[in-house]
Amino acid sequence: MTKKRKVLKIFFVIFVIVLFLPEIPKIPVQNATAKDWNAKSFWFEPWGKSGVHKGIDIFGKMETPILSTTYGLVIFAGELPRGGKVVAVLGPKWRVHYYAHLNVDSVFIGEPVWSGKTIASLGDTGNAKGKPPHLHYSVVTLVPYLWKIDGTLQGWKKAFYLDPAAILLP
């Protein structure tokens, strides 16, 4: 085995182990508290084209730093039609932490991040244009939680979308 393959194998093993370590969540909008979002907005319906709101909106001042809620690896940093400027971080427990409506992102795909690292700034991009600046924060598990499925609109998606407020404030 070449030295390069050994290093890649060691990196992969460490990466897999890290994904199973516990999360140490941090509220993603700098200086925000639970009073800056409505915890009942998770899975609120009706919610525009998506039917239900699969996250929470944390309000603040334009350009407030957005912090990574946990450690992980940036798997997307770019623009999406509804989300505007977006960052997605693959973190522990095979969960993707999704940050949308950003003003500016300051990370790149493949960049490692940690809890509290500035990854962007608060904005109003995407379908948040013309609304108060806020962060749409969602947590998606790649390992489905089948027991969370219920009879609500799109209730089968609850196996994948987790309540961010429950993660931030256990």
pLDDT digits (tens, 9 = 90+) for 55-78: 999 999 999 999 999 999 999 999
Q: Total structural domains in the chain?
A: 1
Can you give the residue range of the structural domain that contains 150? 56-170
Task: Supply the DSSP string of 38-106, one letter for each residue.
Answer: -GGGTTEEEEGGGEEE-SEEEE--TTPEEE-SS-EEEEEEEEETTTEEEEEEEEGGGEEEEEEEEEEE-
Is position 42 within any domain?
no
pLDDT per residue as tens digits for the range 30-51: 999 989 988 778 876 655 565 6
Q: What is the mean pLDDT of residues 79-108?
A: 94
Paired strand residues for 16:
none
Q: Domain with 154 in it: what CATH number?
A: 2.70.70.10
Is position 36 within any domain?
no
Q: Give the CA distances from residue 117 to residues 26, 29, 40, 106, in Å, rounded to whole numbers and listed in that order.
A: 10, 11, 27, 10
Is position 135 within any domain?
yes
CB 126 within 8 A of CB 101: yes
Output 10 or 49, whichever has higher pLDDT.
10
Residue 117 and residue 45: Cα distance in Å, rounded?
32
Is position 24 within any domain?
no
Predicted structure pTM score = 0.86
pLDDT of the residue at 117: 96
Contacts of residue 141, Cβ cutoff 8 Å, sequence gap at least 6: 93, 94, 95, 96, 159, 160, 162
Is position 46 within any domain?
no
